[in-house]
Copies of this chain bind each other. A is one copy, B any other.
Amino acid sequence: MAAPAQKHDVFQAIADPTRRKLLQLLDQGEMPVTAISGHFPMSRTAVSKHLRILADAGLVKERKVGRETRYRMDPDPLLELKRWLSYYERYWENKMAALKRYVESQDSGK
């Protein structure tokens, strides 16, 4: 299969707070555009553009039902983010270990 050559990646997609809210909202379930845009202080068209960017990154899927387009969230691309983040995981592991040691030392001290 050829590469998707998507215009927007996950990192870009979640950079905008409006789009993060969109994901959160659509996490509740499928919803048509007008209903979605009711939750945002901007025009329906603007929301529609954000949805397109999210769709481009694979974070939402659309489905046409009659005259409406229903969007739902797809968390799969977030796995890339998770993978990226896991690279830095060791930092907190060490930190947590250090904190654990600290707490335990306080504990035994008392």
Q: Which of A1-52 contact B (CB under 8 A)?
A: 11-12, 14-17, 20, 24, 27
Verify B82–A85 contact, CB threshold 8 A: yes
Copies of this chain present: 2
What distance in Å separates the Cβ of A82 from its nearest Cβ neighbour in chain B? 6
Total contacting residues, chain A, CB less than 8 A: 24
* CB closest residue in chain B, given A91: B75
The answer to whether B92 touches A85, judged by C-beta atoms less than 8 angstroms apart, is no
Interface string of A61-101 (1 = CB under 8 A from B): 00100000000000110110110110110011000000001
Interface residues of A (CB under 8 A from B): 11-12, 14-17, 20, 24, 27, 63, 75-76, 78-79, 81-82, 84-85, 87-88, 91-92, 101, 108
